Chain A
Amino acid sequence: MTAIPPTTLTDRTEADTRKVPRLTRAEQRAIAAKGRLSSPWASGIAIVLAILWTVPTFGLLVTSIRPRSDIRTSGWWTFFTAPAATLENYSEVLFGSSTSFATFFVNSLVITLPAVVIPISLALLAAYAFAWIPFRGRELLFVAVFALQVVPIQVTLLPLLQQYVSWGLAGSFWVVWLSHSIFALPLAIYLLHNFMKDIPSSLVEAARVDGAGHVTVFFRVLLPLLTPAIASFGIFQFLWVWNDLLVALVFVGGTTDVAPLTVRIAELAGTRGSQWHLLSAGAFVAMVVPLVVFLALQRYFVRGLLAGSVKG
Chain B
Amino acid sequence: MKRIQRRRGLALAASVAGLGLVLTACSDGGDGGGGGGDEAAATFDCADYEQYGDLEGKTVSVYTSIVDPEAQEQEASYEPFEECTRAEIEYEGSREFEAQLPVRLEAGNPPDIAYIPQPGFLRSLVQDFPDAVQAAPQSVIDNANEYYTEGWVEYGTVDGTLYATPLGANVKSFVWYSPSAFEENGYEVPTTWQELLDLTDQMVEDNPDIKPWCAGIESGDATGWPATDWLEDVVLRTAGPEVYDQWVNHEIPFDDPQIVEALDAVGGILKNEDYVNGGLGDVASIASAPWNEAGNGIPDGTCFLHRAANFYQANWDEGLEVAEDGDVYAFYLPGESEEDKPLLGGGEFVTAFSDREEVQAFHAYLSSPQWANAKAEVTGQGWISANSGLDRELLQSPIDQLSFDLLTDETYTFRFDGSDQMPGSVGAGSFWREMVSWISPGQDSQTTLSNIEASWPSS
Contacts and interface: CB of A to CB of B under 8 A. Distances in A.
Contacts, number: 102
A95 B38 CA distance: 14
B92 A274 contact: no
Interface of A: 68-69, 72-73, 92, 95-100, 157-158, 161-162, 164-166, 170-171, 249-250, 253-256, 263, 266-267, 269-276
Given A68-B317, A267-B93, A272-B311, A253 B63 contact: yes
Nearest to B314: A274
Given A170-B109, A272-B311, A274-B315, A98 B16 contact: yes
Interface stretch (B70-78, B136-144, B248-256, B400-408): B70-78
Contacts of B296: 72-73
Interface of B: 12, 15-17, 32-34, 36, 63, 65-72, 75, 90, 92-96, 100, 103-104, 106-109, 219-220, 292-293, 296, 311, 314-315, 317-319
Contacts of A275: 69
B12 to A, nearest CB: 8
A283 B16 CA distance: 25
B292 A253 contact: no
Contact of B108 (A73, A166, A267, A271): A166
A177 B36 CA distance: 34
Contact of A162 (B72, B107, B292, B315): B107
A92 B220 CA distance: 23
B69 to A, nearest CB: 7
A31 B52 CA distance: 82
A272 B314 contact: yes
Given A98-B33, A249-B94, A273-B292, A158 B107 contact: yes
24 contacts: A68-B317, A72-B293, A73-B296, A96-B68, A97-B33, A97-B34, A97-B68, A98-B34, A98-B72, A165-B107, A165-B108, A170-B109, A249-B100, A253-B100, A254-B92, A256-B12, A263-B94, A267-B67, A269-B95, A270-B68, A271-B67, A271-B70, A273-B219, A276-B292
- Grouping DSSP codes into helix (H, G, I), strand (E, B) and loop, the B interface class, with mixed when no group exceeds half, is loop
Nearest to B117: A271
A105 to B, nearest CB: 13
A96 B65 contact: no
B34 A96 contact: yes
A154 to B, nearest CB: 11
Given A96-B34, A162-B108, A271-B67, A256 B92 contact: yes
B103 A158 contact: yes
A98 B220 contact: no
B15 A158 contact: no
Contacts of A161: 103-104, 107, 109
Contacts of A166: 108
A63 to B, nearest CB: 15
A71 to B, nearest CB: 10
Contacts of B32: 100
A99 B15 contact: yes
A270 B103 contact: no
Nearest to A160: B107
Contacts of B92: 253-256
Contacts of B219: 273
A95 B34 contact: yes
A271 B66 contact: yes
Contacts of A157: 103
Contacts of A158: 103, 106-107
Contacts of B292: 272-274, 276
Contact of B75 (A98, A253, A255): A98
B94 A267 contact: yes
Contacts of B66: 271
Contacts of B94: 249, 253-254, 263, 267
B220 A273 contact: yes
A162 B106 contact: yes
Nearest to B75: A98
Nearest to B101: A253
- A-B complex: 5 closest residue pairs judged by Cβ atoms: A161-B107, A100-B32, A267-B67, A254-B94, A254-B92
A172 to B, nearest CB: 12
Nearest to A94: B34
Given A254-B94, A255-B92, 15 more contacts: A69-B317, A72-B296, A92-B34, A98-B17, A98-B68, A100-B32, A158-B106, A158-B107, A164-B107, A166-B108, A250-B103, A255-B90, A256-B12, A271-B93, A273-B220
A267 B69 CA distance: 10
A95 B35 CA distance: 9
